[in-house]
């Protein structure tokens, strides 16, 4: 699982339905049993910490969506599907900026 890959996950609680997510964990941590990711939603919000993604063949999304950078999650690798798409470099830069904001480093 590479950083920037889009996968399908089922989170606990309010975000529990199967949904896309983007891997944000460093590729240097590939030996860990868990993976840090941000869920993706089609419920769009006007917020600086949400990154809007237009569907295209490269990312594999079917509808206009947002990366919920404010909902970081960690899951065991065994609970994550194979990648079905990938965010482009421009969108990953936007996710990186939003991550810095959300974790208080910007």
Residue 15's pLDDT band (boundaries 50, 70, 90)? Answer: low
Q: What is the CA radius of gyration of the chain?
A: 13
What pLDDT does residue 18 have? 92
CATH of the domain at 15: 2.30.30.110
Domain count, the chain: 1
What pLDDT does residue 79 have? 94
- How are beta strands 50-53 and 65-68 bridged, if at all? antiparallel
Mean pLDDT to the nearest integer, 6-28: 90
Question: pLDDT digit string (tens) for 41-100?
Answer: 999 999 999 999 999 999 999 999 999 999 999 999 999 999 999 999 999 999 999 999
Torsion (CA) 2, 83, 61, 25 in degrees, nearest 10: -30
Task: Specify which residues 35 forms β-bridges with.
Answer: 75
Q: What gap in Å lies between CA 11 and CA 35, rounded to an integer? A: 13
Model pTM score: 0.93
In the DSSP assignment, the letter for residue 89 is H
Residues of the domain holding 67: 5-102
């Amino acid at each position: 699982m590479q950083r920037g890959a889009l996968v399908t996950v089922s989170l606990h609680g309010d975000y529990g339905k199967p949904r896309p997510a983007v891997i944000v964990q460093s590729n240097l941590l590939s030996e860990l049993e868990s993976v840090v990711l941000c869920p993706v939603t089609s419920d769009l919000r006007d917020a600086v910490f949400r990154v809007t993604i237009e569907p295209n063949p490269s990312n594999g999304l079917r509808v206009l969506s947002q990366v919920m950078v404010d909902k970081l999650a960690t899951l065991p690798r065994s609970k994550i599907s194979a990648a079905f798409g990938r965010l482009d470099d421009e969108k990953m830069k936007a996710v990186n900026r939003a991550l810095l904001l959300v974790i208080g480093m910007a």
